[in-house]
Structure 1
């Protein structure tokens, strides 16, 4: 029985199944597509101006405040505790939505949800710590599919319950409380990774490693030794003499800092990675802002208090169309190194038009269509971007790039929120906000259209240079084929 449990816990299929189950239930938030109508409706009775210019900015600020320490704690505590914390805060989130009255409770709710969204970095990078390299791509597909299926199922169920069963929005939150509670329980089944990427275990910190390290993208390279053997021996003797583990803690932190800095320099030494990361940060900041406030735009065009609303159906459609668009990337025969930046500019231009359509139309169906187009473009491009970055970096570097790019995106989103949304500054109405967001995306599209045109023209004039780069061995840099 014990051997079976050990075999089960070491199996990548078991790890993937638990991660997928957690993802399904954690993202099956039935009430999420109807959050704004719920806050503005009779259950909470908060005005649209307070929701727009006061409550939602707190969510953004708390995400920024929590992301960097959570990113570092994720590696230091080896992922699982942060995923458990995410599950706990998700439960707290829906307990507050269901049972806590008053504006002050909703203020705390926004901070609480900021912690939830910032801990997503722990869940999304968890797979690197427990899944073997040879199963990385399959496991990633299963886990992300489970998240997508959970979100789509939740949104579709919400729409059916609202439109067909005419269920009060309170019960959507009660159902969501049940699904996230299940996710919280499942989080305890997750295996504990044996080591972090930067914060090593005691043995690793003292001795280093002379073995080869294999990253999730297929990099097989020697891991840099932390210190030479003589220094290790002398410090181990010192530890034995003073009988304390204080040296280990400080050495572990120093080693982590060294690896972080080394990985940072390695990550952003590539000009291409810098350009792809720039789009990631800029576009994600705009996407998050539009995602956060689109329900307010829908309510402005077609008030939920007096009209039938189809928020759940639209979010479900977005997930499916976006998933198809993202899935298609893997089957397109495109030299992304040549045409990728131009694709970023072109599809960002389409997204710009979709945002302006949402801002300027008086038809709720046109606004819905604009949102589907916008979100599908983003999901397509973020898939290309993450693939291009991941295919050129080792495990440590990709994890660091993920954290830094996400942090920069939230920092930019916070600046936009502070200037455009917050009632303490401009406090713009929702229509003017979306005009600003459309202009923001127009800037992104122009920037990458210029850069993409230059890259494509340069490579067309010198195709032999591109071919030589594609076949050139690059040491620690990993080819896209391995991914």
Structure 2
């Protein structure tokens, strides 16, 4: 199959899996007449399950993706999303809503196969094109679904229940496109060319030994000698599997050690993990704040908010990806400023009584996060080995989810069981502390650079960009 055909199939899958018009209104659906759960039940017993499920599945699915070579996990991604929203439509009990969140966590963890399949299947010269296609399709799916959901709700064309059924249909169709994706012959770790070379040693020819056997030799002795020379299929497969696992573990450890012994990678990965932890908490529970703020009969514009921040965020990401800022020197300072700003926005959301103010704060928060996480992505990628970004991304995501689980247990699910306003005040303080820590790191970085006599530069040059960082 040609690369553009693979890209087209991936784009169709990506668009459909992200066409989820019900998501901006999920909390209203759960607390409305269709399900009749209270805000407290949704906050404390439903949403936290997603955090724990995502955590439990992430590393397992990351390794499974490489082991089974991507396509089965892409299919699993579509199936788990379908099952999630089917259960949401049919379920009435709190337990079934927890199953919904478990399946959603599985879906999120399985998305790694969609984003890494292209690097195993498509020729390197088409990486940039296909990456742009797939990310664009995903963004278009989210934007289109948000606009569709908002228009149909605002004009009373569909209700939240009907939007959820449309989401089920989009997921089900996405699975069909996943089935037509071509299989992958190799993967980065378990099925790499290096593994195959090591795990398939050349067998000695048996002709010489067979010919040297005297014709008077007993037939049973001949059979016995032949069996010793030819490995049994089950034993051979078992040995090959063990060798593949050993080689894969060596490659994994090599890439892990290479990445996390680099100070630059550690700093940016630390911000990545801590900031994403806070972001996921805010994004997951924001709809409950809006329910708390909204006056009776006030129109809800959650879908419009989703559409606006996705478009503004895409523009901001494009601009910042071209900015020649001296990130090694000024990176921590930039991270500190924007982390503090995020904290202020979240705290303001926790105390405001005006829905539109909260909407604006959330749009600004989303745009800042997606812009800075993009910088974190390419700063980490510059300093790690080729082909190991999927592994490092997976590890950083796992650390994020560990932190998020701890934060959920302390603030939401533990003995405190704070109400939604107090939770957001805590999340705002969390970002302020993160900003202060990186401000200290930024001051130290600039001071050390000054002591070394390095020239202070806000921007990099063309020569700097051509120079490959040390890995």
Contact 2:383 2:469 in 1 (8 A): no
| Cα gap change, 1:326 to 1:242, in 2 (>3 Å) | same
Cα distance in 1, alignment partners of residues 422 and 469 from structure 2: 50
| Cα gap change, 1:465 to 1:334, in 2 (>3 Å) | closer
Contact 2:189 2:195 in 1 (8 A): no
- 1:206-258 per-residue CA deviation (whole Å, 9 max, x = no partner) reads 524xxxxxxxxxxxxxxxxx8xxxx9457999894344311001111111111
- 1:260 corresponds in structure 2 to 252
Q: Secondary structure at the match of 2:388?
A: helix
Q: How much has 1:407 moved relative to structure 2?
A: 0.3
- 1:433-479 per-residue CA deviation (whole Å, 9 max, x = no partner) reads 001100111111111122123323443563359999958976974xx
- 2:135 corresponds in structure 1 to 144
Contact 1:70 1:118 in 2 (8 A): yes
- 1:284 corresponds in structure 2 to 276
Contact 2:62 2:112 in 1 (8 A): yes
- 2:418 corresponds in structure 1 to 428
Normalising by structure 1, report the TM-score.
Answer: 0.87
- 1:57 corresponds in structure 2 to 48
Equivalent pairs counted in the alignment come to 444
- 1:141-188 per-residue CA deviation (whole Å, 9 max, x = no partner) reads 221111111101101110101111352211111111121112111111
- 1:105-147 per-residue CA deviation (whole Å, 9 max, x = no partner) reads 2121111111111112222222221232222222212211111
Deviates more, 1:120-129 or 1:308-317: 120-129
Cα distance in 2, alignment partners of residues 247 and 341 from structure 1: 48
Q: How much has 1:71 moved relative to structure 2?
A: 1.0
- 2:318 corresponds in structure 1 to 327
- 1:217 corresponds in structure 2 to none
Q: How much has 1:352 moved relative to structure 2?
A: 1.2
- 1:369-424 per-residue CA deviation (whole Å, 9 max, x = no partner) reads 110111100000010010111122223321211010000001100111111101x4
Cα distance in 2, alignment partners of residues 137 and 392 from structure 1: 19
Contact 1:206 1:232 in 2 (8 A): no
- 1:15 corresponds in structure 2 to 6
Q: Secondary structure at the match of 1:330?
A: helix
- 2:365 corresponds in structure 1 to 374
- 1:40 corresponds in structure 2 to 31
- 1:481 corresponds in structure 2 to none
- Point out the structure with max Rg over C-alpha: 2
Cα distance in 2, alignment partners of residues 55 and 157 from structure 1: 26
Cα distance in 1, alignment partners of residues 82 and 125 from structure 2: 35
**Alignment root-mean-square deviation, CA:** 2.4
Segments of 5+ residues of structure 2 without an aligned counterpart are: 207-227
Normalising by structure 2, report the TM-score.
Answer: 0.89
| Cα gap change, 1:120 to 1:235, in 2 (>3 Å) | farther
Cα distance in 2, alignment partners of residues 78 and 236 from structure 1: 32
